[in-house]
A = this chain, B = another copy of it.
Amino acid sequence: MTGNAQICKLSGPLQLDGGSLLEGVEIAYAAYGELAADRSNAILVCHALTGDQYVADTHPITGKPGWWERMVGPGKPIDTNRYHVICANVIGSCMGSTGPASIASDGSPYAMRFPVITIRDMVRGLVGLLDMMGIERLHAVVGGSMGGMQALSLAANWPERTARVLAVATTARHSAQNIAFHEVGRQAIMADPNWRQGDYYGEDAQPDAGLAVARMAAHITYLSEDGLTGKFGRRLQDRPDGTKGAKSFGFDADFQVESYLRYQGSGFTKRFDANSYLYITRAMDYFDLAEEHGGRLADAFAGSEARFCLVSFDSDWLYPTAESRHVVHALNAAGAPVSFVELSAPHGHDSFLLEHEALDRVVRGFLDG
């Protein structure tokens, strides 16, 4: 499937939570399906930390299918025969929307001069895009992981802009452990001499080694222990010399799980910008929807008239079910209509991206209901 990836330049600056104005913001997005004449059938899909607008398009760098192609398309749970589906790269990222690699007004990349942003700032950019498109009220906002944070933030801060909120495998606040894992990744990037305080654009050497380590550490948190054991266990790599299943007594990747992680790390550096990784993880760590609304999460949803659906996975230890339940309790306290399901899945946090028939039924049922 191919969409129509394009760039929208917002008409005005974004007033950011950190106090500064971000001028000349561009939002890169893809759209699928026809927008109804009354503009009532738009669904905004929000992407996760390292995702992008290529939700149902072949990725232009990796050549891989869109990150949620199994969910978005004609006849699929988010059915582009019925809905106009929009997916936009968040600000701070690196696939066309304004971020640290973008050129600032002085003609040089922002690099670390890019302002620190929040999840709400990302959603400001998305709402700006909806304004440009003339979409006043979404049929639904949908997202998993950091995408779910955006969905909850939109519901809390722009309650009139959506009729439905579907938040999958997510949380209303980053925990100490979540922050800790991100901090390891940031330290790995900033320890890489090729990072050069962020000023590596145009240099021969990029902070790929640090970014790869950051990705490896994060990747472990996306998978369950059982999933890793099932997929790799303690199985050994075949050696380059053809030897099967023998330890090298060296430091090459002996175990399949080592080889897999190295592959995940090095592949990631081809498609992602290290500074974007710093900024987006920071935004996630800052995310605390209750704190934004006086300290009580229910108050965040006091103005909402949307219907909510929360989904968690029993093997997700990054944003475990208790985090979704915490949101559900707040929605109950706010009197908002909410359905909640914990799905059983062996693959941990990444389950939301993988084949899961029960998830498909929940998504379809909620959006079409």
Q: Which residues of A line the B interface, CB within 8 A?
A: 17-19, 112, 115-116, 173-177, 179-181, 183-184, 186-188, 190-193, 209-210, 212-213, 216-217, 220, 223, 225, 228-229, 231-234, 247-251, 253-255, 257-258, 261-262, 265, 278, 282, 285-286, 288, 291, 317
**A187-B265, A213-B191, A220-B184 are contacts. A179–B288 as well, Cβ < 8 Å?**
no
Question: Mind listing 13 A-B residue pairs with CB under 8 Å?
Answer: A17-B249, A112-B251, A174-B234, A176-B232, A179-B234, A180-B216, A180-B258, A181-B220, A183-B262, A186-B251, A187-B212, A187-B265, A225-B317
Copies in the complex: 2
Judge whether A229 and B261 touch: CB under 8 Å.
Answer: no
CA of A180 to CA of B299, assembled, Å: 41
CA of A286 to CA of B255, assembled, Å: 9
CA of A128 to CA of B251, assembled, Å: 27
Q: Which residues of B contact A262 (CB under 8 A)?
A: 183, 187
Judge whether A249 and B19 touch: CB under 8 Å.
Answer: yes
Q: Which residues of B contact A317 (CB under 8 A)?
A: 225, 317
CA of A258 to CA of B253, assembled, Å: 30
User: What DSSP secondary structure best describes chain A's contact surface?
Assistant: helix
Output the nearest chain B residue to A291 by Cβ-Cβ distance. B234
CA of A225 to CA of B255, assembled, Å: 28
Judge whether B217 and A255 touch: CB under 8 Å.
Answer: no
How far apart are A223's CB and chain B's nearest CB, in angstroms?
8
Judge whether B116 and A249 touch: CB under 8 Å.
Answer: yes
Q: Which residues of B contact A179 (CB under 8 A)?
A: 234, 255, 257-258
CA of A210 to CA of B191, assembled, Å: 7
Judge whether B184 and A228 touch: CB under 8 Å.
Answer: no
CA of A191 to CA of B257, assembled, Å: 19
Q: Which residues of B contact A285 (CB under 8 A)?
A: 254-255
| Interchain CB contact (< 8 A) of A212 among B19, B191, B278 | B191
Q: Which residues of B contact A17 (CB under 8 A)?
A: 249
CA of A188 to CA of B216, assembled, Å: 10
Q: Which residues of B contact A210 (CB under 8 A)?
A: 191
Q: Which residues of B contact A183 (CB under 8 A)?
A: 216, 253, 255, 257-258, 261-262
What 6 A-B pairs have minimum CB-CB distances, sorted nearest first?
A191-B209, A18-B249, A176-B228, A116-B249, A176-B232, A176-B257
Judge whether B278 and A180 touch: CB under 8 Å.
Answer: no
CA of A248 to CA of B116, assembled, Å: 9
Judge whether B247 and A286 touch: CB under 8 Å.
Answer: yes
Output the nearest chain B residue to A279 by Cβ-Cβ distance. B251
CA of A52 to CA of B233, assembled, Å: 30
CA of A233 to CA of B179, assembled, Å: 10
Judge whether A188 and B188 touch: CB under 8 Å.
Answer: yes
Output the nearest chain B residue to A17 by Cβ-Cβ distance. B249
CA of A112 to CA of B187, assembled, Å: 25
**A213-B213, A220-B180, A255-B176 are contacts. A288–B234 as well, Cβ < 8 Å?**
yes
| Interchain CB contact (< 8 A) of A184 among B173, B216, B291 | B216
Output the nearest chain B residue to A218 by Cβ-Cβ distance. B184
Q: Which residues of B contact A176 (CB under 8 A)?
A: 225, 228-229, 231-234, 255, 257
Interface centre among A116, A193, A258 (most CB of B within 10 A): A258
How far apart are A21's CB and chain B's nearest CB, in angstroms?
14
Other A-B pairs beyond A188-B188, A191-B213, 11, CB < 8 Å: A19-B249, A175-B225, A176-B257, A179-B234, A179-B257, A183-B257, A184-B213, A184-B220, A187-B261, A251-B278, A251-B282
